[in-house]
Structure 1
Amino acid sequence: MSLILKESVALRSQAINPWIGFYFLQSMLINFALGYEFSVLYAVVLTCALSVLWRHAPRAQKIFLGITSLVAASYSPFGQAYGAPNFNTLLALRSTNMEESTEILTIFPWYHYVIGLFIFALGVISIRRRVTAPSVPWLKWDTLGVMFCVASYFIGPVQNHFRGFEFRLIDTGVPVLRFVRDVAYNYHEVVEEEENMALLSSMKDTWTVTAVKPKYHTYVVVIGESARRDALGAFGGHWNNTPFASQANGNLFIDYISASGSTQKSLGLTLNRVVDNKPQYQDNFVTLANRAGFQTWWFSNQGQIGEYDTAIASIAKRADEVQFLKRGDFEADKNTRDDDLLKLTNQVLSTKRNQPQLIVLHLMGSHPQACDRTGGKYNEFVQSKETSCYLYSITQTDDLLGKIYSQLRNSGESFSMVYFSDHGLAFKERGKEVQYLAHDDHFQQNFQVPFMVLSSDDTKHRLIKARRSANDFLSFFSQWTGITAEQIKNSYRFISEQKAGPAYVTNFKLQKVDYSHLGTDIFDTRKKR
């Protein structure tokens, strides 16, 4: 009777303890900051765990809360924009230079940082809570609390099992534990991918070229950055912001789908031969052109951190001549512009050469933060300054393409130029004054990008409606350049209205997803001030 009375008193004191409410608020914010879907259940789980820890191991609880609050506060802006850690975020973290990091940090709305500071402040308050009792007895409510936490741990693995996936204890849904798992697992995957890339990049290509019949003397591949197709007037966008592409003679594909939603992964799957969903970095479109006797050039306005530390750098270094306008270190020149690449293309085109030529240009294009690309300039205000700058950055790229086209015309040689973007973007803080665009993988617009082919003998402006996938880029490259290789199978004519089957994309969890099953992120054309 005495024991029951004591437990009842203890329970009543816990129920009216304001710290329980404090821990629940803290738990909700921490779970939210780590990028996972809101769940009252998991907030209760963390609250229960903190309460039991405080009663029996207060110093351990303080250490746990201190570390967790610091991590959650730091990750909060990223979690609200990009969600929980995945392969793409860890890959971006390892391959992003100082300039890009600064731009990412400045694109988040100020109140995202306020939330992070608030979480940090709550953590400080928790750490400063005074320990009033040296020890307390273990009650049955403590046992029930532990059992509740343990049972909640198994919800994720059990759900996966009933959904047809493997039952794995590591697949818990508890956000704090899941965050650690996601970071560790995806970091391992990124390191493994980079080691595999480094190994393959140093290997000799395995192409077996069976025929080389180029139709043109000069081939130019312009790789754009972060351009949503619905932001380009020439591809059905609401704005007249692409005067060159809108009237140029050539083939514009209005249903081209990128391979993934981020630069490294998308271009890794696009420009390399892929076996069992793994890019073979030694067998890419540059080494194929080299093997066919083309002279190859790679000019980039994107950063190069090292020789083989990013998928794109590993491909670029296979060209005969390579030049990066940015080195990607702490002294990287933030002010280099895509237009600066014109000096390099002019040098190549001003000299007569017997070999067929392949020139690759990799742009900064519309990479967030778009206002850094445009110097804060825009033609028309739409929703927010950043959105307006984004639309103007599209115009800048269109103007660049027009200048490259003119250079090719003036060279006196036959030519063909292809332009496409690596991936699209999704809107964040939609409808607000701070609206901006960022990487995502949940919407079709994250993969809807422009693709066009302009050749010296084109006489019409043609829109191709047939769906095309970046996963078939090497097939296009083979048909386009007249380079036939045993490893490339052409199942349909790329530049045609011939159907090519369903398109699949690779999401940030490295899962192949049917593009048609994705949601939509429509570009709101209304003007707001």
Structure 2
Amino acid sequence: MKHPRLSEWYKNKLQDKIVKIKNLLIYIIPLIILIISSKLMLKGSGYAHPTPRDITLVCALYIILYASKKAYVWIGIPIAILYAIYTPIGLTFDKPTYQYFASVIATDAIEGIEFFTQISIVNYFYAILIIIGILAFKKLCSKLNINYYRNKTLMIVLVIIALINQSPFEYFYNVYESATKVKEEIITLRDFTKSSEWGKSTLDNNQHYDDYVLIIGESVRRDYMGIYGYPINNTPFLNRVNSTIIDGLNSADNNTIGSLRLMLTLSDKETVKPNYGLNIVGLAKSAGFKTYWISNQGYIGQHDTPITFIAKHADVKRFNKLGAFNSNDESDFSLIPLFKKELTSPTQKKQKRLFIIHLYGSHPNPCGRIEDYDNPFTTKDIKYHNISCYVASINKTDEVIEAIYSLLEKQYKQKDRTFSVIYFADHGLSHQDTEEQIKIMHGKTKYAYRVPLIQLSSDQVSTQYIIAKKSGMMFINGLASWLGISNPHLKESYHLFTPESDEEDFGLSETLEARMDDAINIQGK
């Protein structure tokens, strides 16, 4: 028989342990909530893999702010709200950058709606969780009378960590820096008075083409094109026509404005900044070309974007989309009559012309690009629906290129005007796999930079497939060689359609995500 005093001692000891465990749980639960909220805030600001140090420092910020109830309410909660606002975007895309802010300036209402439809509903739920978590931390600490800031050991550890890194405010720094860059660029474009800084260029006497057409594709990665080996033939025209195909062009950036402002100007290779006074339109005009800009991208807003700034210097400008909120979502097929009208307009035989045609192409909502087009590649599995639309949108672009080529060919036969066409894309896209479907959107993998580069000419008698690395940072030098233009600013010996690879990638490889992101074969899906 147990001694009654011994039994009572065990009972009291057990109760003490239960109380200690209960107190420990009470102490830990608010911290767990704060840790989860802090991690969500960092991930929502575009940091896919926040380190324990980063998370700890955000926690430290809120623990210190809780020392003053007013500071927590007027500083801590607004910070959480700002993080929460960006979280759906940050979880889907990336941290705030110049490119995203510039894209906002250049986005119309329809594109804005498409942008938000790419964001999973779960990401909005995470944004709400951030605010709930930060409020719950304050409520629990107040109700349970927990003051972490009075724990000297904890505060010493937090101060040491704070001296090592200051990650909670890196998000705000990125926002400020990106917005400032966009503002500075808007001011630069607004105050730019010179139409061109090229001076006088010379034209190669042996250059025998009369009409040049530069077709800018939108959001096309080459490994999704049949002509580059994709197992579905979604480029029947390009597969059939004689051409020179370059397998190796990397775009200058992973979005339209960021890329084209560098590819269509003689950009500074060290600072990776464009020079708007040395742009493709000005270059062609300096050599006597008549220039045309025909676009299915919007000419919108109160301010010039880098692309519209270049476009507006063309002799003839045709934009399908004008204005911001009343813009129509036009099909790329609607560009064909515009091009035909300008192509067949009276012109002198010796007048050389450059047509720049900017497609809407395979924009991140590819299904929205083929509303006027039957999708021959539909899948049974809804998970691959977006991919099938993307594959079909490239098929549609192939038909647009064929229509442009046919008009040029007819002009050549009727008026003996020779021609050359270059098709390339501003950037590619990356995959994002969700439970419901695979989305295809802007990203930082190497595949998001691998774009097509194809030349078709009136005198082409065979097809060449060339594997060679070409950098988008050198693109305007290659366009000058194609046009037969010489200018002291240019690297004269540079050519796009040769087997020689570029020696430099101008820092691109250092910025890419390492993850694999191969094209997805939807056959049998």
TM-score after normalising by structure 2: 0.86
Task: Give the equivalent residue in structure 2 for 1:194.
Answer: 186
Query: In structure 2, what is the equivalent of residue 6 of structure 1?
Result: none
Unpaired runs of 5+ in structure 2?
A: 1-18
Q: Match for 2:471 among 469, 472, 484? A: 469
Which of 418, 429, 439 in structure 2 is aligned with 1:414? 418
Instruction: State whether residues 26 and 144 of structure 2, in contact with CA within 8 Å, keep that contact through their aligned partners in structure 1.
Output: no
Hey, what does 2:428 align to over in structure 1? 424
Structure 1 Cα separation of the partners of residues 149 and 458 of structure 2: 83
- Residue 514 (structure 1) shift: 5.4
Query: Does the 8 A contact of 2:261 with 2:274 survive in 1?
Result: yes
Bigger radius of gyration: 2
Deviation at 1:99, TM superposition (A): 2.1
For 1:274, the equivalent position in structure 2 comes to 267
Q: Give the drift of 1:114.
A: 2.2
Looking at structure 1, the residues matched to 226 and 254 of structure 2 have their Cα atoms a distance apart, in angstroms, of 22
Counterparts of 1:377 and 1:48, CA distance in 2: 55
Alpha-carbon distance between aligned partners in 2 of 1:312 and 1:147, rounded to the nearest angstrom: 52
In the alignment, the residues of structure 2 paired with residue 429 and residue 274 of structure 1 have an alpha-carbon distance, to the nearest angstrom, of 35
Please show how residues 252-401 of structure 1 align to structure 2 within 5 Å. 252-275=245-268, 276=270, 277-306=272-301, 309-334=304-329, 336-354=330-348, 355-375=351-371, 378-381=375-378, 383-401=383-401
1:181 maps to which of 147, 169, 173 = 173
Q: Deviation of residue 417 (structure 1)?
A: 0.7
- When residues 127 and 272 of structure 1 are mapped into structure 2, their CA distance, relative to the original with a 3 A threshold, is same
Distance 2:514 2:54 in 1: 27
State, as a whole percentage, how many aligned pairs show the same letter: 27
In 2, distance between residues paired with 1:401 and 1:368?
20
Q: 2:504 aligns with which of 499, 502, 505?
A: 502
Deviation at 1:403, TM superposition (A): 0.4
| Structure 1 residues 315 and 35, CA gap change in structure 2 (3 angstroms) | same
> Counterpart of 2:331 in structure 1: which amino acid?
R
Separation of aligned partners in 2, 1:136 and 1:416: 73
State the 1:518 CA deviation: 5.5
TM-score for both structures, normalised by structure 1: 0.85
How far has the Cα of 1:438 moved from its partner? 1.2
Counterpart Cα distance in 2 of 1:153 and 1:322: 54
Residue matched to 1:160: none
2:51 to 39, 43, 55: 39
Judged with a 3 Å threshold, the aligned counterparts in structure 2 of structure 1 residues 515 and 246 are, in CA distance, closer, same or farther, namely farther
Structure 1 Cα separation of the partners of residues 488 and 60 of structure 2: 62
How far 1:489 sits from its partner (Å)?
Answer: 1.5
| Cα drift, residue 145 of structure 1 | 3.6
The CA distance in 1 between the partners of 2:357 and 2:126, in whole Å, is 40
Which amino acid in structure 1 is aligned with residue 481 of structure 2? Q
> Which of residues 207, 214, 225 in structure 2 aligns to 1:221?
214
Distance 1:12 1:218, change over 3 A: same
Per the alignment, residue 13 of structure 2 pairs with none
Q: Is the contact made by 1:65 and 1:127 (CA closer than 8 Å) also made in structure 2?
A: no
Cα gap change, 1:132/1:493 in structure 2, threshold over 3 Å: closer, same or farther?
closer
Distance 1:359 1:464, change over 3 A: same
Residues 20 and 221 of structure 1, relative CA distance in 2, 3 Å threshold: same
| Residue 241 (structure 1) aligns with | 234
Q: Is the 8 A contact 2:477 2:492 kept in 1?
A: yes
Q: Give, as a single letter, the amino acid of the residue that structure 1 aligns with 2:438.
A: Q
- Within-5 A mapping of 1:129-140: 131=142, 139=150
The one-letter amino acid of 1:282's match is G
- Whether 1:488 and 2:490 are equivalent positions in the alignment is yes
Deviation per residue, 1:332-375 (Å, 9 max, x gap): 112x1111111111101222311111111101100111111112
- Mapped partners of 1:517, 1:498: distance in 2: 26
Amino acid at match of 2:289: F
Match of 2:159 among 132, 138, 150: 150
Distance in 1 between residues matched to 2:306 and 2:149, nearest whole Å: 55
For the Cα contact (< 8 Å) 2:84–2:127, is it kept in 1? yes
State the Cα distance separating 1:226 from its structure 2 match: 0.4
CA offset at residue 526 of structure 1? 5.1
Distance 1:138 1:348, change over 3 A: closer
Q: Secondary structure of 2:321's partner?
A: coil
Distance in 2, matches of 1:45 and 1:306, equals 40
Where do 5+ consecutive residues of structure 1 fail to align?
Answer: 1-8, 157-171, 506-511
**Matched position secondary structure for 1:453:** strand
Paired letter, 1:256: L
SS at match of 2:90: helix
Which deviates further from its counterpart, 285-294 or 374-383? 374-383
Question: Shift of residue 378 of structure 1?
Answer: 2.8
Question: Partners in 1 of 2:138 and 2:204 — Cα distance?
Answer: 70
Alignment of 1:119 with 2:112, yes or no, is no
Distance 2:160 2:300 in 1: 46
SS of the residue 1:486 aligns to? coil
Distance 1:59 1:210 in 2: 69
Mapped partners of 2:302, 2:122: distance in 1? 38
- Give, in angstroms, the shift of residue 27 of structure 1: 1.9
- RMSD over aligned CA atoms reads 2.9
Summarize the Cα distance change of 1:288–1:53 in structure 2 as closer, same or farther, 3 Å threshold.
closer
Does the 8 Å CA contact 1:58/1:131 hold for their aligned counterparts?
no
